[in-house]
Each structure stands twice: as structure tokens, then as C-alpha cells.
Structure 1
């Protein structure tokens, strides 16, 4: 089965390619917030613990790129570290994380880019446990219908950040955002989500022979 991708699914530190984001306006509003107090951090950690307790999930998404481009598709997540985005045609892109690396493939150009997962904000999103300690929390905003958590770690991916938006009652993830060092955003909204799904291991396999073969070829 051919898996397609639109804009590189959320790799901010990855040579400034594409990223996941909730939108420039939303992010700028969050950037103006003060650092959270202890109560807000505790609430954020409770939500993060619930989310990271979901070991597998799949669903549909709509993604908005930095220039307003829009596409949809289906995503697959398996903790720790595994992700796949299947984008709708006519996009030639593929995005796969196998727990160690993330690759962005363009089937039209027959090219691949590969990055260590640990150097991207996806490492935080896909962690076995999302630990909000160690100064990771940049901002928290708690509203009646939405809890927003902005995370960042300069030691992992510079000035890039990842923003997570949750339903405060069910703790379900609604959207996530990655903002790169150039402040370019890409928004991903998810829906029709199913948890606890069992995946075939091939879903998250990276074709390393192709990846390294094209690099040797120039």
C-alpha cells in the first residue's frame, strides 16, 4: 500500500521543513502568557499523564501549513516513538517515525530526508511518559472548554516548541502544534480517534535501503 504525506509532518528542527502547529494567531496569543504557577503545572501534568497513558491511537486529521495550505489524511501513533502520516493524494510525501529516526519521503522526486527523532519535538509528543518537569512547560492556559500546554526544551530542539490542546473534561488531545525556529507553524486537528488499536509492525517500518541508497547516489 502506498502511503502519502503532504508537508513534512511536524519536523521543526529538521532543516526548517514542515511542522505541526495550531496556527500563528493561537500561538502568538499563548506566547504572551506568563509562565504557569504550580497549580497550573499540576493540572497540565495530570492531562499529560492521561494522554501518554494512551499507548496506541489512530484517526483522521486536517493539517494547515505555514502558507495556509490544507490537506487531510490518517495518522497512526504507537508509544514510544512511532508515528506514520498517510496524506491524501495528490501529495507525494510520506512521514514515518520508527522510534529512532524520522524520515520524510517524496515519492515523486524519489528523495528522502532522515533525522534523529530525539532532535525533534515529536520525541516529546511520542514519549512513553510526557514529563512536564525540568522547565519544559513554557505556558499553560486553562479555559472551560480547552486546556493548552506549550512545551519547549532548548537542549533538544533549540527555540522550537510544541503546543498541545486538550479537552479539559475527557483529557483527549484535540490538536497539536509545532513552531520552528523561524516561527513558522503548521496546524494539525485530529478527529474520529480510536485508542488501543493494534498495528502491524510494518506500519512504522522505514525503508532504510532506499533512504541510504539515495544518499549514496547523490
Structure 2
């Protein structure tokens, strides 16, 4: 059972929020040994190096599902493996990674779901030891300043697809700025996350990646 199926039967928006984090990271995807593949490999090296160069990052985000429903919030990242999606006040949910597991907390229904980073598409962002070249491929774009990387396992279509979009920017770590990603599950349900106002290198406390467990009465940091 994925996070998406766990949230079926609730509000459509909540299912869409969960769906953005629901796809599993696929295994190896081998590229053919051709000159084009060698060029793609170099570009993928750039993407991997750019992700590994991010020590801390904050950004605003908007998240849109297939029906066009959009929510927004603030994204906070800290290497290695920590991330926080804090949604606007009208969406009483929180997504947090503490470096080893990713947790989705729904305060309205007082429930949470937790799964290993390695079983999340966000593992491509959160685990600096992972290599996108092992399970991703470069997708051609019309703009030479835009890189698109597709993460997909053709042998396991139920895992869905995740596509990361980068724009060349000398001011960003590694010269590439992550601007968006698209998650497409096996039922063709699409969720798009767009980033803006990216900032890097600020001091971020580990407390930012804690949360209040809605299942207990003792208050915890949120």
C-alpha cells in the first residue's frame, strides 16, 4: 500500500498532496553506450553534482494536481536527507524527513504515515549518495538551458514516474537550479510541484525537521 492508496476516500485534495510523495524510487535504468548517451551521462553528472552541492535551501512552492487544485507553502531542505513541506494554514498537513524516513502528518484526522527515504521519489533529492544515473535518464528539451531528468523503472510501471526540472543558473549550487518536479502515478494521476524564490546556504536548525505527533496529547515541536 502506498501513501496514495492509504488516503483514498478522504478529500481529493488530501489524496493529491499525498500522491506527490507516493511514488517509489525505481531501480537501475541502464543507458545505451552511444555518443548521445555519453553526452547525457555528462549532463546527469552535472545534475548529481548540483544536488550534492546543496547544503541548505529554502523556497516557496506551489503544488497542483490533475484537476487543477493548487496549494502552496514553504520548502526547507538541509543535507543530508532532511526536508520539510509546510503548507499554508488552510491545509492542516505537514511532510517532514529527518534524514532516514519521510513522514506525512495529517492533523485533521490525527494520523501519520511514515516510509523510508529509499522508498520515496524524494530520495533523488534527499540522499546525496544516490546516483541519478543508475535509475534516471535525460529527457530532451527545447531549451538548452533546461535539463529534464526522468526517474522511471520500465519493469515496474506501478512505481510511476518522477521528472525533475533544472535550469542553468551560475548562482545556484553546481550551476543548476531545481525549479520543479512532476509525479505521475500508475493511474496517470499527475502532481506538479513548482519552486520559486530559492535561497541557499542559510543556517537551519535540526529542530525544523521535527513535528508534533497528532496521535498523542503531549505537545511536540511543529
Q: 1:100 Cα shift?
A: 1.4
Mapped pair 1:140 → 2:139: yes
Residue 91 of structure 2 corresponds to which residue in structure 1? 91
Gap regions ≥5 residues in structure 1: 15-35
How high is the TM-score relative to the length of structure 1? Answer: 0.74
Measure the CA separation in 2 of the matches of 1:132 and 1:54. Answer: 15
Residue 29 of structure 1 corresponds to which residue in structure 2? none
Alpha-carbon deviations, 1:98-122, whole Å to 9, x = none?
1111111111111111112211111
Residue 8 of structure 2 corresponds to which residue in structure 1? none
Equivalent residues of 1:150, 1:164 under 8 A apart: yes
Between 1 and 2, higher relative CO (CA 8 Å, sep ≥ 6) is seen in 1
Alpha-carbon deviations, 1:122-144, whole Å to 9, x = none?
1112121451333x123422423
Gap change, CA 1:198 and 1:76, over 3 Å in 2: same
Measure the CA separation in 2 of the matches of 1:11 and 1:141. Answer: 25
Gap change, CA 1:154 and 1:58, over 3 Å in 2: farther
Residue 204 of structure 2 corresponds to which residue in structure 1? 199
Matches within 5 A, 1:68-147: 68-134=68-134, 136-142=135-141, 143-147=143-147
After superposition, the CA RMSD in angstroms is 2.8
Mapped pair 1:189 → 2:194: yes
Residue 20 of structure 2 corresponds to which residue in structure 1? 10
Gap regions ≥5 residues in structure 2: 1-12, 25-35, 171-175, 218-222
Residue 32 of structure 1 corresponds to which residue in structure 2? none
5-14 or 180-189: which moved more? 5-14
